Structure 1
């Protein structure tokens, strides 16, 4: 059973109500519940994830976001009003003709790629096997949209221009996830990305960016968002992963594509009657979180270096921060221990010290090898490198206790 952060909240809330876990699934659910409870009570953390809050806290967050806008404006119905305002804002930010709001990124990308398949006459989509549609969407490409995925590389990295150019069969669309989350939030260099896009163009393929976390990728590329988006024919962006919105996504591209996408949005059940809560928080995220993302990315590199130094000083024989210098404000940490031992040590540290160094789940990367994802947000800016090293030292004491049991 996967122990990933994006999927564990609802499962945890449905978990144990005091009974001793008897199956592996129940054990993992009980652990999730402990971890989430410990994180909610933590006084210090690298990232306060709003979606883990109580209903009262989420309503207060919505009210705070709403105060930034004219609340006497008529509410939206089926995508009008403030939803249109959000769409125009995102289209301008990404330098595209038009945008369409979607309730989920999964729907946005299914629709985009279905539209491109009709326009190119080819339902084959080239993408990475670690891309979101292949890992987290239950084969929706083939089962819902009639698309056929092919993999340009199986390496845990972004594809190269040569791999795209030399792929042995035609494809209508090349989809690039920027960053590639399940490979470690990896991004290519600007030159590599430009070359990959050019290779796709040489094959008369269109290019779609899965930009769920594109917002925080600009620092790595050293380019503004509209220049990055200009490489692609269409781009999807998320409003909750980085911008702290209640949910939602947008698809941007040529107006003709977006008009067609809105028709398919209706067919897919995405014409929600009123969406103003999500739209309000998305706009607030663009105002408040988007300008801060470069600061988070820079500090993620401070945190990553301090983690390496802290584990070395604590006598841990081997550690990997991946990538060594984070490409975004999120990265992976690998440790040569059983995932159960590391997960228990992380939870104990949060429970006993109210300091959450590792808030996310730990999973197996191989025999005796565990990894987790580290998110660096506003809360992390209060941590110095020495603070990180101190927390690592405390964590290692608990880790050695758990590993010795």
Structure 2
């Protein structure tokens, strides 16, 4: 039985602590709520309502300024628009901060990551200034093989972190917030205030536990396939660039000189001819005339030979020229 997070949800939270090496965890059905709760608590503790976030972070671009509109926080830019944050960026912030946020794999830039040594240096600097360091680690599962360290080692630099339980793990929804026991106890109060404590959570918790058991061990193979495909796709005529050139996760971007309308038409023609759905929607580029789509390697890609996928990309490129 699982009522108000007692039962299966507790098993999930304990498993997450075991994997990620943090003291406590709390499941929430909304990652947006979990992260904003973390930022609110840190800011209250520091008595400072300014947070440092990357200008292309999910918190900044996709959450309708919830940190400001709902929680009364203000932001300072951490990093440049076209690259991940660095230690220099963090040191360059002169304003007092309630917290600093690192998005572990920055999706708008092709899920690029920060080298582990630099992450540790950023954490050391933040602690020297008494600045809490929070991680949007939604994609920590996907990023870990590229780092070549354990999940706990990757999570260690951060005072708190949010992880997703539905992306590569294929859970139904939701995520978890991890950190010190006293911090998570306070987060549970905000969880209740924001309606994040469901009466029955066991379907979400069971799906997440299954993902940790069945999908997590397959992520290294997804990463290896992404690296192989990125290298080969970059050689296809008509491809402007694969970004990043060496994937940091099982995801990357493919850039073409084409309009969004042309990309959609070519996508549908490839799907009809080959039964391969290359992407959902094209994404605009900062550069006029260039459009991109994201590649997210899943288990279906492991069931196809690389040649089949490369041939589909070649046809896609040819369709763009017609």
Structure 1 and Structure 2 fold alike (TM over 0.5): yes
Does structure 2 conserve the Cα–Cα contact (< 8 Å) formed by 1:126 and 1:151?
A: yes
Counterpart in the other structure of 1:381: 302
Structure 1 window deviating more from structure 2 (133-142 vs 381-390): it is 381-390
Rounded Cα–Cα distance in structure 2 between residues aligned with 1:294 and 1:282: 18
* Paired residue secondary structure (2:52): strand
TM-score (norm 1): 0.77
1:84-138 superposed Cα distances (whole Å, 9 cap, x missing partner): 1111111111111110000110010011111111112212110101111111101
Counterpart in the other structure of 2:263: 342
Rounded Cα–Cα distance in structure 1 between residues aligned with 2:280 and 2:232: 18
Does structure 2 conserve the Cα–Cα contact (< 8 Å) formed by 1:346 and 1:395?
A: yes
Structure 1 window deviating more from structure 2 (220-229 vs 247-256): it is 220-229
Rounded Cα–Cα distance in structure 2 between residues aligned with 1:185 and 1:166: 24
* Paired residue secondary structure (1:328): coil
Counterpart in the other structure of 2:156: 230
Does 1:363 find its partner at 2:283?
Answer: yes
* Paired residue secondary structure (1:355): coil
Q: How does 1:145-160 map to 2 (within 5 A)?
A: 145-160=71-86
Counterpart in the other structure of 1:106: 32
Deviation at 1:199, TM superposition (A): 2.4
Counterpart in the other structure of 1:303: 229
Counterpart in the other structure of 1:165: 91
Rounded Cα–Cα distance in structure 2 between residues aligned with 1:354 and 1:386: 15
Rounded Cα–Cα distance in structure 2 between residues aligned with 1:230 and 1:78: 29
Counterpart in the other structure of 2:107: 181
Rounded Cα–Cα distance in structure 2 between residues aligned with 1:236 and 1:175: 11
Deviation at 1:371, TM superposition (A): 0.7
Q: How many residues align?
A: 321
Rounded Cα–Cα distance in structure 1 between residues aligned with 2:108 and 2:311: 29
* Paired residue secondary structure (1:331): strand
Counterpart in the other structure of 2:16: 90
Deviation at 1:218, TM superposition (A): 1.1
Rounded Cα–Cα distance in structure 2 between residues aligned with 1:400 and 1:346: 13
Structure 1 ranges of 4+ moved more than 6 A: none
Deviation at 1:202, TM superposition (A): 2.6
* Paired residue secondary structure (1:88): helix
Does structure 2 conserve the Cα–Cα contact (< 8 Å) formed by 1:338 and 1:367?
A: no
Deviation at 1:198, TM superposition (A): 2.0
Q: How does 1:172-211 map to 2 (within 5 A)?
A: 172-211=98-137
TM-score (norm 2): 0.96
Rounded Cα–Cα distance in structure 1 between residues aligned with 2:188 and 2:268: 44
Rounded Cα–Cα distance in structure 1 between residues aligned with 2:29 and 2:303: 34
- Structure 2: which 5+ residue stretches go unaligned? none
Does 1:128 find its partner at 2:48?
Answer: no
* Paired residue secondary structure (1:319): strand
- Structure 1: which 5+ residue stretches go unaligned? 1-74
Compute the RMSD of aligned alpha carbons.
1.2
Rounded Cα–Cα distance in structure 2 between residues aligned with 1:372 and 1:199: 36
Q: How does 1:7-18 map to 2 (within 5 A)?
A: none
* Paired residue secondary structure (2:44): helix
Counterpart in the other structure of 1:30: none
Q: How does 1:215-294 map to 2 (within 5 A)?
A: 215-294=141-220
Deviation at 1:353, TM superposition (A): 2.3
Rounded Cα–Cα distance in structure 2 between residues aligned with 1:324 and 1:153: 20
